[in-house]
């Protein structure tokens, strides 16, 4: 049995009998006017964060969500795109599609604004998306891509890049881990399916995403997620896992490499009203400016004593140097 078949078995069981805590999001559920989420959807919230952000969802976009779970994020996306077929949910597990379909019936009963036809559920997987080229505005996945081994992860990212329109957004939440894991842990297919031992270091994760062509990356949040202790797992030290929320934008790749925002800020505090680096970046006197890591490095390389550049906060909410 391949690791992908093991994963399908895990989520087949989770579709038939909701397993609260299978994944554990630390995010509060969106409280939006008129939105009611059925209890079974909440119980099947198999994610490690949130991929729903109102600033990604203006203008009633077409949204693709891969790995439907109980359908909670499908419903949340439909809140912003209230038209037939606006939200496409793709899953490889027939039982999960059926569970999500049943949950949509309950959601329709509980929400006056919601219609089942807003959400279209399709059989398929992240490696072979049943979606035409450049046909969606926003693609999302929550605690799915971390399950893939590297070659499959690269393929899933390439597929998502293919179906996004120019300047479209890939919004993701995945576990990451900076510590090495034993080969025994990495080879455990069930632990990989449970979103534990496929976790990559954050920089490797970001590098893989930009390697398929995404020109802009935003690291929006990073949180504590899990620990693997020696008492319970094949490890000699406590392993700390975090969840990260990122947005990859299908912008053209800059000649000097991608713009990756990790929550760094530059502040000019010199004698003049502003500082202009002659490369398109203007810092007003004592006013913070969000900068990508590339710009942060360039400003630090100037060696000036009147520019402060913060370390990465791994919190970013828009704006900045690019």
Share of the chain above pLDDT 90, in %: 82
> For residue 266, which phi and psi values (nearest 5 degrees)?
-110, 140
pLDDT at 31: 78
Element (H, E) at 247: strand 239-249
Q: Has residue 25 got a pLDDT over 80?
A: no
**Mean of the per-residue pLDDT values of the chain:** 93
pLDDT at 24: 53
Q: 72: phi > 0 → left, psi -120 to 50 → alpha, else beta; which? A: alpha
Q: For residue 266, give the nearest of 243, 293, 242 by alpha carbon.
A: 293
Q: For residue 77, give the nearest of 108, 98, 56 by alpha carbon.
A: 56
Q: How confident is the model at residue 319 (pLDDT cuts 50, 70, 90)?
A: confident
pLDDT at 17: 73
Displacement of CA 198 from its chain's centroid (Å): 15
Half-sphere exposure of residue 219, counting CA atoms within 13 Å on the CB side?
28
CB 114 within 8 A of CB 107: yes
Half-sphere exposure of residue 21, counting CA atoms within 13 Å on the CB side?
1
Reported residue count of the chain is: 322
pLDDT at 46: 77
Q: Has residue 49 got a pLDDT over 90?
A: no
* Residue 224 exposed, middle or buried by CB count within 10 Å (0-12, 13-18, 19+): exposed
Displacement of CA 22 from its chain's centroid (Å): 18
CB 143 within 8 A of CB 46: yes
Higher confidence at residue 15 or residue 178? 178
Half-sphere exposure of residue 85, counting CA atoms within 13 Å on the CB side?
3
Q: What are the pLDDT digits (tens) for 79-110?
A: 999 999 999 999 999 999 999 999 999 999 99
**Which string of b and e fits 78-112 if b means at least 16 CB within 10 Å?**
bbbbeeeebbbbbbbbeebbebbeebbebbbeebe
pTM, entire model: 0.93
Q: How far apart are CA 185 and CA 238, in angstroms?
A: 13
The pLDDT of 243-257, averaged and rounded, is 96
Higher confidence at residue 305 or residue 49? 305
CB 227 within 8 A of CB 241: yes
Q: How far apart are CA 47 and CA 173, in angstroms?
A: 8
H-assigned helices in the chain: 3-16, 39-43, 72-80, 94-110, 150-163, 183-187, 189-193, 202-211, 293-301
pLDDT at 186: 92
Bridge partners (DSSP) listed for residue 309: 266
Q: What are the pLDDT digits (tens) for 67-82?
A: 998 899 999 999 999 9
The pLDDT of 210-220, averaged and rounded, is 97
pLDDT at 27: 56
And the tokens for 163?
Answer: 């179906």
Least confident of 18-32, 68-82, 237-251, 289-303: 18-32
Q: Has residue 152 got a pLDDT over 60?
A: yes
Angle 91-95-100 from CA coordinates, rounded to 5°: 70
pLDDT at 322: 79
The separation between the first and the last C-alpha atoms of the chain, rounded to the nearest angstrom, is 46
Q: Has residue 269 got a pLDDT over 60?
A: yes
Q: How far apart are CA 164 and CA 132, in angstroms?
A: 9
pLDDT at 197: 93
And the tokens for 110?
Answer: 């509980």
């Amino acid at each position: 049995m391949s690791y992908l078949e093991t994963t399908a078995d895990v989520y087949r069981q989770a579709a038939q009998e909701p397993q609260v805590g299978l994944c554990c999001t630390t995010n509060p559920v969106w409280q939006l006017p008129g939105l009611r989420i059925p209890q079974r959807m909440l119980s099947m919230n198999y994610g490690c964060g949130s991929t729903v952000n109102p600033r990604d969802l203006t203008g009633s976009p077409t949204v693709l969500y891969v790995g439907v779970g109980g359908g909670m994020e499908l419903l949340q996306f439909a809140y912003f795109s209230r038209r037939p077929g606006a939200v496409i949910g793709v899953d490889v597990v027939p039982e999960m599609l059926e569970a999500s379909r049943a949950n949509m019936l309950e959601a329709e009963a509980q929400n006056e604004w919601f219609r089942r036809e807003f959400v279209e559920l399709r059989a398929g997987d992240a490696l072979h998306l049943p979606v035409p080229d450049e046909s969606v505005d926003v693609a999302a996945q929550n605690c799915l891509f971390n399950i893939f081994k590297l070659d499959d992860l690269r393929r899933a990212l390439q597929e998502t890049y293919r179906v996004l329109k120019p300047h479209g957004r890939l919004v993701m939440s995945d576990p990451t881990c900076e510590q090495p894991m034993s080969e025994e842990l990495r080879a455990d297919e069930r632990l990989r399916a449970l979103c534990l031992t496929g976790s990559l270091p954050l920089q490797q994760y970001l590098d893989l995403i930009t390697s398929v062509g995404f020109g802009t990356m935003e690291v929006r949040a990073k949180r504590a997620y899990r620990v693997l202790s020696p008492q319970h797992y094949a490890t000699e030290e406590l392993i700390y896992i975090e969840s990260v929320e990122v947005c990859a934008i299908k912008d053209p790749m800059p000649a000097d490499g991608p713009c990756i925002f990790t929550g760094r800020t530059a502040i000019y505090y010199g004698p003049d009203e502003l500082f202009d680096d002659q490369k398109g970046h203007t810092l007003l006197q004592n006013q913070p400016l969000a900068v990508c890591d590339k710009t942060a490095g360039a400003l630090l390389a100037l060696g000036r004593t009147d520019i402060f550049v913060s370390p990465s906060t791994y919190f970013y909410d828009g704006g900045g140097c690019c």
